[in-house]
Amino acid sequence: MRRKKTRRFAGTNEEIELSMTPMIDVVFQLLIYFLVTFSTADILAHLDISRPSPDAAQKQQPPADMIRVAVLPQGFAINGREVTEEELSVMLRKLASVSTRQTVLVSCDDQSLHGRLIKALDLCAENKLTQISVMSGK
């Protein structure tokens, strides 16, 4: 596709032709040059991060075993031992005083009352225990 641009100078009758092909070639050459020489800046190398020293690292204690709270038709059980609602509350309070990140597994079956399950979850929430799993089944 060739464009002709005609321009007449004073005193001449010749036409001047402007070809776009060399200009497109130059543009493509520049494009290739910039693509080849482009380098991305490493952003992470310029971040100012203060890292803690290895001496200040705290030793993490291994997590304690999971506490199993079973919701029974007649009450509750902690790790297989039947307890009342008040005893469950006291045990969860003691557990939370040691660590609020302790895992509590609340299990119930189809014979358990829904209100008892909600009560067990409420007791965990009151004591700020956040690692709670609920399991349904026999």
User: What pLDDT, on the 0 to 100 scale, is given for residue 36?
Assistant: 93
AA letter at 5 = K
Residues whose CB is less than 8 angstroms from the CB of residue 99 and which lie 6 or more positions away in sequence, other chains included: 64
Distance CA 91, CA 114 (A): 21
The full set of domains in the chain, from first to last, is 67-136 (3.30.420.270)
User: What pLDDT, on the 0 to 100 scale, is given for residue 67?
Assistant: 87
Distance CA 114, CA 132 (A): 17
Residue 69 β-bridge partners: 78, 106
Give the mean pLDDT per block of 10 residues along the chain (138 residues): 60 76 95 91 66 59 73 89 91 87 86 86 88 80
User: What pLDDT, on the 0 to 100 scale, is given for residue 48?
Assistant: 63
User: What pLDDT, on the 0 to 100 scale, is given for residue 24?
Assistant: 95
Radius of gyration of the CA atoms of the chain, in A: 38
User: What pLDDT, on the 0 to 100 scale, is given for residue 49?
Assistant: 60
Distance CA 106, CA 95 (A): 15
pTM score, whole prediction: 0.52
User: What pLDDT, on the 0 to 100 scale, is given for residue 15?
Assistant: 76
User: What pLDDT, on the 0 to 100 scale, is given for residue 73?
Assistant: 86
* Strand order through the sheet with 76-78: 81-83, 76-78, 67-71, 103-108, 131-136
